[in-house]
Structures are given as structure tokens and as C-alpha cells.
């Protein structure tokens, strides 16, 4: 069972990917993690990717797919995997499909965790973090006992730059421009499944499980 997770930043697709991986005993593969592992282990692919990253450039799609295929060729992926954070664009999806076809393989499901933009802005701009102990809160859903103060260590809570409304809106714009077209791409391939990401996390997971089982 080979699955791609889609959804805007803050839609909760990473959390769902981890839960799917655990339930179905397949690896959760995030491109960021594979890049870091290849660079840390100084593999030839890692060295190549590092050159681009050191220059502040995006790693080309072909190289990203090579690193990804190298990962999914490992033994723990023989029953499938969950891809989180890749593909992000149509060209990436096409390269991935071409390479998988050569291996007589294909993606089984693309799962879109659908959350309206206004919910995401509310969800992310309400987050607060403690930079001392790493605890996270939400002003509506998980408020600290005392406003602006961490329950665990008493330090001041801050809103990370990533969670500021203008940053979130900007990330959503990039998502709609680049990644949203993947929804159409996988719909045409007849493998797209959409779940409502506005409900409770457990209910989102139940909907995904119903699709996969």
C-alpha cells in the first residue's frame, strides 16, 4: 500500500501520516528526513543534494526522486509506505510516476486532508510555543493555565514567525499555486481520496482507515 499525503500546511497531514504508518506497519517517509539522513551519512546522493542546499538552491526534482526511490527500495518498504511532503508539484509527481512505472510499481492512494484556509489561519495563528522547554499551546484549544506563561516551566510563550498570520497566508498561497494542481492530477488517475480535516483528529484518522481497509 503506497500512499501520498496531500493537504495545506497546518492541515494535519503529517500527524495522520505517522498514525497510518503505525497502524499499517509501513514507514512514514518525509523528504526532509531522507535528505538529512543522506547528508549525515555522507552518501553520494546526499553530497549532491548538499551542494544545492549550501548554495541556498532547491534540490532538483530528478535528484529528489532519486533519493526517494533509494529510500523506498529498502526492505522496510516492501509492504508500502506513506509519503509526506512529496510530491509538491506536478513535475515532481510526473517524475515519480515515470520512475515507479519503470519498476513496475505505482502509488495506490493520494489522500487529501481538506481544511479551508480560514480554519488553517485560525489554527496556526493561535499556536504559542515555549522556547525554553519546547511545549506548545493553542490560545483556543490548548490554552495555558496563565495567559502567555508556560505551564511546565513558567517561561514566556511566543508566537513563532512561521505561525504569524501573514506568513501562514503566504504559505497557503504557495500551496494553492504549486500543490493544489496535484488534486486534479491524482483525481484524473482515479486514486484521490478526500477526507474532512476540520473534524477531530481521531475522526480524520477513522475516515482514512475506512478508505485504506
Could you give the residue ranges of the DSSP H alpha helices within the chain?
Answer: 13-24, 31-40, 44-54, 61-72, 90-102, 117-125, 165-174, 181-188, 201-212
d(CA 208, CA 213) in angstroms, rounded, equals 9
- E strand map for 7-156: 28-30, 81-84, 109-114, 127-130, 136-138
Q: How many CA atoms lie within 13 A of 106 on its CB side?
A: 7
DSSP letter (8 states) at residue 156 = B
Please say whether the beta carbons of 10 and 21 come within 8 A. no
Mean pLDDT taken over the chain: 92
Give the residue-averaged pLDDT of 83-91: 90
- Contact between 52 and 58 under an 8 Å Cβ cutoff? The reply is yes
The confidence band for 17, taking pLDDT boundaries of 50, 70 and 90, is: very high
CATH 3.40.50.300 applies to domain 2-212: yes
Beta pairing partners, 2: 81
Q: Look up 171 and say whether it is catalytic.
A: yes
Determine whether 127 is an active site residue.
yes
Measured CA to CA, the distance from residue 94 to residue 114 in angstroms comes to 23
pLDDT tens for each residue of 22-56: 999 999 998 888 888 999 999 999 999 988 888 88
Distance CA 25, CA 80 (A): 9
The domain locations on the chain are 2-212
Q: CB of 186 within 8 A of CB of 104?
A: no
CA-to-CA dists, residue 83 to 33, 71, 175, angstroms: 11, 11, 17
Catalytic residue among 2, 66, 127, 128: 127
Are 48 and 63 a contacting pair, CB within 8 Å? yes
The yes-or-no answer on residue 36 being catalytic is no
- Across the range 99-119, mean pLDDT stands at 93
**Which residue of the set 88, 122, 164, 193 is catalytic?**
88
Catalytic residue (choose from 13, 71, 123, 128): 13
User: What DSSP line would sit under 22-39, residue for residue?
Assistant: HHHT--EEEHHHHHHHHH
The pLDDT score that the predictor gives to residue 180 is: 87
Choose, from 18, 50, 122, 171, the residue flagged as catalytic: 171
Q: Which helix H or strand E contains 195, and what residues bound it?
A: strand 192-196
First to last CA, the chain: 10
Cell of 133: 522547554
Query: Catalytic pick from 23, 51, 78, 160?
Result: 160
Assess whether pLDDT exceeds 90 at residue 188: yes
Q: How confident is the model at residue 141 (pLDDT cuts 50, 70, 90)?
A: confident
Amino acid at each position: 500500500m503506497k500512499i501520498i499525503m496531500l493537504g495545506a500546511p497546518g492541515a494535519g497531514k503529517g500527524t495522520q501520516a505517522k498514525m497510518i504508518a503505525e497502524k499499517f506497519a509501513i514507514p512514514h517517509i518525509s523528504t526532509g528526513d531522507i535528505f538529512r539522513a543522506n547528508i549525515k551519512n555522507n552518501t553520494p546522493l546526499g553530497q549532491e543534494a548538499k551542494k544545492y542546499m549550501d548554495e541556498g538552491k532547491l534540490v532538483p526534482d530528478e535528484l529528489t526522486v532519486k533519493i526517494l526511490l533509494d529510500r523506498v527500495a529498502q526492505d522496510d518498504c516492501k509492504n508500502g509506505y506513506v509519503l509526506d511532503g512529496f510530491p509538491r508539484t506536478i513535475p515532481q509527481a510526473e517524475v515519480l510516476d515515470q520512475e515507479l512505472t519503470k519498476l513496475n510499481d505505482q502509488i495506490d492512494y493520494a489522500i487529501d486532508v481538506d481544511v479551508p484556509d480560514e480554519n488553517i489561519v485560525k489554527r496556526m495563528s493561535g499556536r504559542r510555543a515555549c522556547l525554553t522547554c519546547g511545549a506548545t499551546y493553542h490560545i483556543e484549544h490548548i490554552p495555558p493555565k496563565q495567559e502567555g506563561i508556560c505551564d511546565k516551566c513558567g517561561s514566556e510563550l511566543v508566537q513563532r514567525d512561521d505561525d504569524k498570520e501573514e506568513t501562514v497566508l503566504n504559505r497557503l498561497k504557495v500551496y494553492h499555486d504549486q500543490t493544489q494542481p496535484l488534486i486534479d492530477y491524482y483525481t484524473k488517475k482515479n486514486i484521490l481520496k478526500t477526507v474532512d480535516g476540520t473534524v477531530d483528529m481521531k475522526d480524520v484518522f477513522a475516515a482514512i482507515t475506512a478508505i485504506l481497509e
